[in-house]
Amino acid sequence: MSNASENGRSSARHSTTGPRTDLLSSNPTDRVEAASIFQGDVDTDNTVVVCGAGGFIGGHLVADLLRQGFSEVRAVDIKPPNQWFQKFPQADNRSLDLREKENCYRALENADHVYNLAADMGGMGFIENNKALCMLSVTINTHLLMAARDNDVDRYFYSSSACVYNQELQDTADVEPLSEEDAYPALAEDGYGWEKLFSERMCRHFREDFDVTTRVARYHNVYGPFGTYDGGREKAPAALTRKAIEAKLSGSGDIVIWGNGTQTRSFMYVDDCVKGTQKIMHSDITEPINLGSDDLVTINQLVDVIEEAVEVDLDREYDLTKPQGVDGRNSDNTKILEELGWEPPTALRDGMEVTAKWIEQQMRTHREEETTSRFAVPH
């Protein structure tokens, strides 16, 4: 596994302390009573709405808002609460289909701040085969922006994606880091990427035409505990970790990797995503900005890290018929460093160690109890 310094950059910017373990308790009350990840100056009298709260990142964000002591945190998701990745009794939990306009107005009534993380999405296997479903998420952001305008919402955050970037700039594994300007001329990833790019423009024009204060972050490959690792929507770190643990538990020692393993990506630990999201929300940054690690690794190097975390040696088989996305993608963090003096610090090795332990614990529990993971439930 090549670390950041071997990839030509200093590793000094990456955290040496590792992810916090006090946020991993199986008891949601314990997770809420921990110190918050984001330490900014906030008005806790505000009503904060998290759309997509039943999802991976949304659940972590709700937890951190509750840690900060907001008087009302409204958590909204299309799934029934018993299918949410994390659910907190301290929040106002609502099951609403935000593709419907009237539900967006209900969700944002008396809201001060809105985080829109809601989308029909998943890993490469899902977005390659469900382009129309991904595009239909445009109705969520459109209706939420209308509701934000009409309800005089103070600030509105939209979670975009690195999938907005021009695909012609990602046709080599030795990719140049993608800067914010590289989204244009537009040639986004079909389906999911185009929806994200269009929704970014909607945020811009609602800001320009209707004075809605909007903030947009382009997420780069978020991973961590309390996320999906099976069921067809999981992303590469979770999917490969699940496969490694299955090989370990079964004794097979085999793993199937989509593509030839030379594709490159950067991966951001979820705590860094939660912190960066709130930093951007409370900043003066009006244009879309990268939020991701700039530590570029191959998929083979990711598997190296997972093998170490799971404590297993794997025989690798490569399936070239499966979706594998662009050849290379990395985040240029120049702008976020200039604007915030910060970038996601968690080293991949540290984040994957925590993530792998959590997934293995989940898998062993379901194996022993002969139950099915709740994360496999369609959502």
Catalytic site residue from 156, 165, 192, 269 = 192
Q: Taking the alpha carbons of 201, 334, 186, 259 in that order, is the dihedral positive or negative?
A: negative
Q: Is the pLDDT score of 378 beyond 80?
A: no
Nearest by Cα to 85 from 302, 353, 358:
358
pLDDT, mean of residues 47-53: 98
Active site residue 165: no
For residue 264, pLDDT beyond 60? yes
Distance CA 172, CA 336 (A): 25
- Token pair recorded at residue 171: 């046709």
- Pick from 43, 20, 52, 162: nearest CA to 116: 52
Per-residue pLDDT, averaged over 291-315, amounts to 97
- Name the helix (H) or strand (E) containing 149: helix 138-150
| 51, burial (CB in 10 Å: exposed 0-12, middle 13-18, buried 19+) | buried
Give yes or no for residue 174 having a pLDDT over 60.
Answer: yes
Q: What's the token pair of residue 332?
A: 């240029």
The pTM for the full model equals 0.93
Give me the pLDDT at residue 120, please. 74
The share of the chain scoring above pLDDT 90, in percent, equals 80
Q: Which residue has the higher pLDDT, 13 or 237?
A: 237
Parallel/antiparallel/unpaired status of strands 315-319 and 92-95: unpaired
203-232 pLDDT per residue, tens: 999 999 999 999 999 999 999 999 999 877
Distance from CA of residue 289 to its chain's centroid? 15
The mean pLDDT value of the chain amounts to 91
Tokens 């701040």 sit on residue: 113
By DSSP bridging, strand 264-265 and strand 297-298 are: antiparallel
Predicted confidence (pLDDT) per residue in 8-34, tens digit: 343 445 665 789 999 999 999 999 999
Q: What is the pLDDT of residue 181?
A: 97
Please report the pLDDT score of residue 4 as a whole number: 38
Residues 6+ apart with CB under 8 A from 290: 162, 178, 179, 180, 217, 218, 220, 331, 332, 333, 335, 336
The confidence score (pLDDT) of residue 231 equals 77
